[in-house]
């Protein structure tokens, strides 16, 4: 297994709609394993394939990290799609591809998602709270969206100005 590079905004792969996965083969299984290795190294709760430069409809997640449970509980969703969304909540959110920035984002309070597990079996995941937020956040990645697309234009402009300063500082460093 390998730790992959997590792409950061404004990398163009983060803005592309990911392709559906047709074959679950050894290459895909290696990518899934590498994505978990990357997720745990980051550390994060979820990681979508576009975040590691692969424009595929796949994400991995493990909420045991948030619960500080000692046993990992890695889960995979391939070609996920929403079955239903209910309610609305606004909560603080961040992203491995948008480092050092958090903001309140409005999302559905409860979601039902259907997709495939890593063995190609159809699964349905029902989520509320943190799981609902994670499912929506990762599916946004597969659709070429970032959480900063869901905040007000004023807050987004503040983020962009901050990002420009960071990028200029990095250029000076060399």
pLDDT of 70: 62
DSSP state of 96: T
Could you tell me the CATH number of the domain that includes residue 21? 3.90.45.10
Domain containing residue 54:
12-173
Asked if residue 49 is part of any domain, the answer here is: yes
Asked if residue 105 is part of any domain, the answer here is: yes
DSSP state of 18: P
Global pTM value? 0.93
Window from 17-21, 50-54, 167-171 with minimum mean pLDDT: 167-171
Nearest CA among 7, 14, 21, 10 for reference residue 143 = 14
Asked if residue 3 is part of any domain, the answer here is: no
Asked if residue 137 is part of any domain, the answer here is: yes
Asked if residue 31 is part of any domain, the answer here is: yes
Asked if residue 5 is part of any domain, the answer here is: no
Cα–Cα distance for residue pair 48/40, rounded to 1 Å: 13
pLDDT of 173: 82
> What is the gyration radius of the CA atoms in the chain, in angstroms?
16
Cα–Cα distance for residue pair 149/34, rounded to 1 Å: 28
Cα–Cα distance for residue pair 174/161, rounded to 1 Å: 20
Q: What is the mean pLDDT of the chain?
A: 94
Active site residue 81: no
Look at the chain and report how many structural domains it folds into. 1
Q: How crowded is the C-beta side of 30, counted as CA atoms within 13 Å?
A: 5
- Cis-peptide, bond into residue 94, ω within 30° of zero: no
Asked if residue 2 is part of any domain, the answer here is: no
Cα–Cα distance for residue pair 174/160, rounded to 1 Å: 21
How many Cβ atoms sit within 10 Å of the Cβ of residue 120?
Answer: 12
Q: What is the pLDDT of residues 89-141, one digit of tens each?
A: 999 999 999 988 999 999 999 999 999 999 999 999 999 999 999 999 999 99
Q: Which two tokens stand for residue 59?
A: 């994400």
Q: Where are the beta strands (DSSP E) in the chain?
A: 46-48, 58-61, 75-86, 89-95, 98-107, 110-116, 122-128
Q: Is residue 67 predicted with pLDDT exceeding 80? A: no
Asked if residue 67 is part of any domain, the answer here is: yes
Catalytic residue among 37, 122, 138, 171: 138
């Amino acid at each position: 297994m390998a730790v992959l590079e997590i792409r950061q905004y404004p990398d163009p792969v983060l803005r592309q709609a990911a392709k559906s996965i047709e074959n679950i083969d050894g290459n895909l299984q290696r990518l899934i394993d590498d994505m978990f290795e990357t997720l745990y190294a980051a550390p994060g709760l979820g990681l979508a394939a576009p975040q590691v430069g692969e424009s595929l409809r796949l994400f991995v997640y493990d909420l045991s990290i948030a619960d500080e449970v000692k046993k990992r509980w890695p889960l995979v969703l391939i070609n996920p799609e929403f079955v239903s969304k209910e309610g609305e909540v606004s909560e603080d959110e961040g992203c491995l591809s948008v480092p050092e920035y958090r903001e309140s984002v409005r999302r559905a309070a409860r979601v039902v998602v259907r997709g495939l597990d890593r063995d190609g079996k159809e699964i349905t995941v029902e989520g509320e709270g943190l799981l609902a937020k994670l499912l929506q956040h990762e599916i946004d990645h597969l659709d070429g969206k970032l959480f900063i697309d869901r905040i007000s234009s004023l807050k987004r402009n503040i983020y962009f100005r901050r990002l420009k300063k960071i990028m200029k500082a990095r250029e000076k460093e060399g």
